Amino acid sequence: MSNEIKSKALEVNLKNTNVEYEIPAEHQWFMSLSEKQWGLHKRVMEFFAEYDHPMSNRAEVVKALPNVTISDFWLYKELPIEDQKRVVNVALEIYEKLLSEKLRHAWAKDLVTYFLRFIDNNDAVLSQCDNGVMRCISLLDKYMDDNAFDYYCHIGQFKVKLALAAEHPETGTVTFKMMQRLVLSHVRYWRETTQIEKWYEEHKAKMSRDYSQTLAELGNSLFDEYEKLANEADNWQQLCDNAFTFNDIIKAFESKIAAFDHTSEQFCYIFYLLHLPGTIDNHPQLLVELNKVIKLVSHELDEEQCIASMNDLFEQFVDFRDSHLNLILDSILELGKEIINTKNHRLIHYLERKIIDFGFVTPGVKYITNDWELKVNPCHI
């Protein structure tokens, strides 16, 4: 019996990926610089082999950037100045190409932080290579709109990693203006996507008391103040001191969970947070907060409130099933424990029906990893 796997799809994939291609001469020159450093040379060879491939895996390219452009960059600082300029040109061309490609968020987020580290770590080299720092700031400004959310995630790093560029007489003004534009864009983003006062108006009938004053702290008045401070700033330090980071605003919104008196109100608010586009990277933490609130269900809610909460919870579980299944299953487990503790047969049977409607995850659901390994879904029940 033959063990050979016959797959038309696999044949096509192998044919498409096993293609001949040429690495540009400038990249070949770059690789030649490290020939006497075996480990470093191997990393550079692998990087350009992937980067220049017609079907390049950009996830692997971005993952390798810190080695090629940061930790291994010491080698190129020892070269003659003209060679250093060529090296810087290659590095900036790589970053510009990747920034222009509008990569998926997970990769673009890392790309931005690596570029900021590249600028900060190589400030001395960049400064003497045809206005290298100015070119970096220009690239950040040029591709800001294409990668806005990924920039917002790193506002804190922008403050730190561009501090040297902000101090240079040649680059200080353009760095300040770029940062001011980013800070104002960040403020507008949260103003437009949160609209907490509008959300509260739509849900205040569900609340046991008036929370409008508490939530107004995160409303338009907050963003008006930060916008005013950013516009009035006239130097780098003043601008940075009065600009909230991505983590600052996330924590401010999360802190209001405890402001609600009842479990059902906290559920409602956490669901609001989960659906904000800006909290996409914080879903795991928010689901952990949700589990904490779920543990209060059997103590604080009556039978009808429990049923209403289960309906709301499972509606949200379906929304996040594909992206956070393991955390959703944890939430269902916590909910099950609480409902069983009530010893209320109506609630227990209702939960059973909701779980059945949610659907089971069987171990037979398989998928292929990036390394072409066959895996069984670990989230099966």
pLDDT of residue 5: 43
d(CA 206, CA 68): 55
Burial of 41 (0-12, 13-18, 19+ CB in 10 A): middle
Identity at 51, one-letter amino acid code: Y
Burial of 302 (0-12, 13-18, 19+ CB in 10 A): exposed
- β-strand pairing of 366-368 with 374-376: antiparallel
Number of neighbouring beta carbons within 10 Å of residue 272 = 18
* CB 321, CB 328: distance < 8 Å: yes
Number of neighbouring beta carbons within 10 Å of residue 111 = 22
Number of neighbouring beta carbons within 10 Å of residue 77 = 11
Sequential pLDDT tens for the chain (381 residues): 444 444 555 455 545 556 788 999 999 999 999 999 999 999 999 999 999 998 999 999 999 999 999 999 999 988 999 999 999 999 999 999 999 999 999 999 999 999 999 999 999 899 888 889 999 999 999 999 999 999 999 999 999 999 999 999 999 999 999 999 999 999 999 999 999 999 999 999 989 999 999 999 999 999 999 999 999 999 999 999 999 999 999 999 999 999 999 888 998 899 899 999 999 999 889 988 988 888 888 777 788 888 888 888 888 788 777 777 777 888 888 888 888 888 889 989 988 988 888 876 665 545 555 555 555 555 554
Identity at 363, one-letter amino acid code: P
d(CA 228, CA 10): 58
User: Of 277, 281, 285, 290, nearest to 335 (Cα)?
Assistant: 290
Identity at 133, one-letter amino acid code: V
DSSP 318: H
Each as own residue / partner, the long-range contacts of residues 370-378 (CB below 8 Å, 24 or more positions apart, any chain) are 370/57, 370/59, 378/326
pLDDT of residue 184: 98
SS3 content of the chain, % helix, strand, coil (to 5): 70, 0, 25
pLDDT of residue 302: 84
pLDDT of residue 1: 41
Its sign, for the CA torsion 314, 319, 325, 328, is: negative
Place of tokens 């980067």: 51
What is the pTM assigned to this prediction? 0.84
User: Of 331, 196, 168, 190, nearest to 247 (Cα)?
Assistant: 190
Burial of 239 (0-12, 13-18, 19+ CB in 10 A): buried
User: Of 151, 81, 84, 82, nearest to 115 (Cα)?
Assistant: 151
Paired tokens of 109: 């987020």
